[in-house]
Structure 1
Amino acid sequence: MKFKLYTEVALTTDIEGTLFKKGDVGTIVEHYVPNDKIKEHGYTLEMFNALGETLTTIDVAESQIKSISNNELFSIRTLEPELA
């Protein structure tokens, strides 16, 4: 497992079928090991709005997330009104 539970990570790509985009930050709440159906490690992320309120959870592959480094800044973007 590359990433530890309950750490914050950033998305490296837009997540198809969701409102989440590259650079959005989530917290790892579950880890999945590769098997016959899953070819790489996977994670469930809890996603929050800018106020820290939970929006939902999403499942991502390890290749879709990265650690956050100390030379990166948070940014704010507006969600579609019907999704907020």
Structure 2
Amino acid sequence: MMIKLLDTVVLEKDIPEYDLKKGDLGAVVDIYEPDGLEVEFVMGSGKTKALITLKTSDVRAMSETDILSVRSENAA
């Protein structure tokens, strides 16, 4: 499935410098051809946690069978 602007995506790897963990959800806010995405990750408060450029291979589209969960910032 092709990822589109404003899609919710699932991070496929940890990114320690931003305290992001595999499985975190983000929103695609820009697309850079051929394989770049600007993805925003937000806290429950709505505050932006990270706004980073990723490769399409770093994320996947959210699936209808995914189960959502919540973790606290800096949680192991």
- Shorter-chain TM-score category? 0.7 to 0.9
Taking the TM superposition and a 5 Å limit, the aligned residue runs for 1:4-83 are 4-34=4-34, 41-80=35-74
TM-aligned CA deviation for residue 16 of structure 1: 4.3
CA distance in structure 2 between the aligned counterparts of 1:16 and 1:80, rounded to whole angstroms: 10
TM-aligned CA deviation for residue 74 of structure 1: 1.1
Segments of structure 2 that go 5 or more residues without pairing to the other structure are none
| Structure showing greater Rg | 1
State the Cα deviation string for residues 37-68 of structure 1 (Å, max 9, x = none). xxxx0101011113433223011111010011
Which has more helix, going by share of residues? 2
Distance 1:16 1:42, change over 3 A: farther
TM-aligned CA deviation for residue 15 of structure 1: 1.9
CA distance in structure 2 between the aligned counterparts of 1:15 and 1:61, rounded to whole angstroms: 13
- Root-mean-square deviation over aligned CA pairs: 1.7
CA distance in structure 1 between the aligned counterparts of 2:13 and 2:74, rounded to whole angstroms: 19
CA distance in structure 2 between the aligned counterparts of 1:56 and 1:22, rounded to whole angstroms: 14
Q: What is the total number of aligned residue pairs between the two structures? A: 74
Q: Which segments of structure 1 move beyond 6 Å, counting only runs of 4 or more?
A: none
SS at match of 1:43: strand
